[in-house]
A and B are shown apart, each in its own frame.
Chain A
Amino acid sequence: MKLHKVIRWEFLSHVRSKQFLIMTLLLPAIIAVAIFAITLSKGIGVSASQANANPPPPFIIGLLLGLILFIGAFMSGVMAMYAIIKEKQSRVVELMLSSVSAWDLMAGKIIGLGMAGLIQVFTWAATAYFVANRFASFPLSSLTLVHWITFPLYFILGYLLIASMFALVGAAIKDIHSGGAVGLIGFIPYLPMVLTPAIVENPDMTWLRIAGFFPPFTPGIMMLRIGATPMVSEGARFVPLWEIALSLCTLALGVFLMMRFTTKVFHVGMLMYGKSASFRELWKWGRQRTT
């Protein structure tokens, strides 16, 4: 297995780029310092007593995390998509496939770029939290242990799922201008966002509970449900733990299957330079025996 070498290379060569350093460290730092300076000079701020008076409901945290996930994963996903299209166009892929398996190459790219993206998401989220706290109170005391454990898991797995769905688009299309309908695949996990108000209001609806087990929708639905549930029923009834566990399992399985499908499409597609896949071909390529 040379997967870790590919991950390391993809991660480091991305993290070392000037663009990444500016976007991840410099820009958030400038924003944080600027906001801090402004609030200090104008005397804006929140006193400690105000801060503790009104902790935000967890569903806000769930919603915010969901938003960060979808924006961050979108950026990483598009990056992975570009990287794969570039890999195919620069033809370096043939040299790579003479050394590593298509799986090591694809999974390495998605995970390596994903890790770089997660760092970026983390610095931005930390900056946003810092800035928000200058204007209003957002103590994290309303979060329980379950939140602390489940949110990061949904976040990371959801992140990988979305990134690999965009990678699939990159594997399937010839260049960035010829995506066609296949280009929309990456947006499937975003669909639950449209239903945010309904989910927050009524997180126990049967169809929601069922939809939560289907990987593309899992991260969006589950984070909102887990965030919203205690607020709705003050009896502190929680999303059943088995639902959480099962949905995490299906999500992890979904990530694996999606990455494998992407690998197959990539392997078949890369040997047919200059052709974009239709949905039907995508299905055919994804099931083709390659090794």
Chain B
Amino acid sequence: MQDTTSLTIQNISKTFDTVRAVQDVSFEARPGQILGLLGPNGAGKTTTIRMIMGIMQPDTGTIGFSFATSDPVSIRERVGYLPEERGLYGDAKIHDLLVYFAELKGVDRNDAKRRASAWIDRMDLSDWATKKVEKLSKGMQQKVQFIAAILHQPDLVILDEPFSGLDPVHQDVIKAFIAELRDDGMTVLLSSHQMNRVEELCDRIFLIHRGQRVLYGNLAEIKESFGDHVVHMRFDGDGSVLSTLPGVCEFTHSEGCADFVLSQEHAPDAFVRQLPADMTIRALHIDRPPLHDIFVKTIEGRIDETA
């Protein structure tokens, strides 16, 4: 399963008037995996997604799907979409609306009704099934939109900023569902500007900035290649001695607390053994740097190169 691809994007570009929104972007998405399309606001994520969805056409390049069907009309039915711009028909009832959306994706009406009811139960919306959408809280509306994206059991689901505007409880609910979709063998394309929030979900990532590729590949491998570790410590006693340990850089330090980077030639276990014996450690956290830091460093590196 790892070797098959369900979505292949080759060298797509899109220009609006004078703005080059997407430049020569290529990537693949695979079944049973989550591909993170990550980058700051305005990086070109939504434009890329709209081109995949066929809402816009790329100026150059190709977008290929390999599902069981190759009929272009049916391909639309094999893809599910949660747009960044959230919106539903406010005066429609939830159950009716979900059935309508599923029918538009080619699901048989009775089947659509059955599936809509099942998902409404799973999302704890049963009490609201016959209520109008506009009566729902924002979080609940988002759940309804999430259901609309997957009700027709697509092969590929595209989630554009699935966590924006959600409280932590709802975020966890949606996260669990996304993981479930992946486990069911769906191809998930997850777009977000909140890199640190979604990185734990992603198997592979495509980092985009100003319409261009920054980094692309397996998340674990990318993190490995950056080698550094970030360390957060809380302790009793004088912390300034930490800055003198080998490998420690970017050291910041305040009362009983220190943050620094452990450069890549120094392994975490070696570092831990060197800690002063008289220091009482309250907390110690060592990890690969968060994706956002990797992103910023890569961007800075590029700017240095061009300067």
Contacts and interface: CB of A to CB of B under 8 A. Distances in A.
A22 B141 CA distance: 30
Contact of B55 (A6, A13, A92, A97): A97
B81 A13 contact: no
Nearest to A96: B104
Interface in A71-107: 90-100
A273 B83 CA distance: 14
Contacts of A6: 104
Interface string A222-239: 000000000000000000
Interface string B53-85: 111110000000000000000001101010101
Given A98-B81, A99-B105, A13 B88 contact: no
A13 B89 contact: yes
A95 B55 contact: no
Contact of B100 (A9, A98, A273): A9
A273 B46 CA distance: 14
A183 B104 CA distance: 32
A100 B81 CA distance: 13
Interface in A1-46: 2, 5-6, 9, 13, 17
Interface residues of A, number: 21
Given A99-B105, A100-B104, A90 B87 contact: yes
Contacts, number: 60
A94 B57 contact: no
Contacts of A99: 76-77, 101, 104-105
A12 to B, nearest CB: 9
B92 interface: yes
B83 A5 contact: no
A271 B56 contact: yes
A79 to B, nearest CB: 13
Given A91-B83, A91-B86, A95-B145, A291 B57 contact: yes
Contact of B87 (A9, A17, A94, A100): A94
Interface in B93-129: 96, 100-101, 103-105
Which of A17, A96, A100, A290: most chain B CB closer than 10 A? A96
A290 B51 CA distance: 11
B87 A95 contact: yes
Nearest to A105: B104
A186 to B, nearest CB: 24
A248 to B, nearest CB: 32
27 contacts: A2-B103, A5-B104, A13-B96, A17-B91, A90-B88, A90-B90, A91-B83, A91-B85, A92-B87, A94-B50, A94-B55, A94-B81, A94-B83, A94-B87, A96-B104, A98-B53, A98-B54, A98-B55, A98-B79, A98-B81, A98-B83, A99-B77, A271-B50, A271-B55, A271-B56, A273-B85, A290-B57
- Pairs of residues from A and B, 7 with the lowest C-beta to C-beta distance, nearest first: A91-B87, A91-B85, A90-B87, A92-B87, A99-B104, A94-B83, A98-B81
Interface of B: 50, 53-57, 76-77, 79, 81, 83, 85-92, 96, 100-101, 103-105, 145, 148
Interface of A: 2, 5-6, 9, 13, 17, 90-100, 271, 273, 290-291
Given A93-B87, A98-B54, A98-B76, 6 more contacts: A13-B91, A91-B86, A91-B87, A98-B79, A98-B81, A290-B57
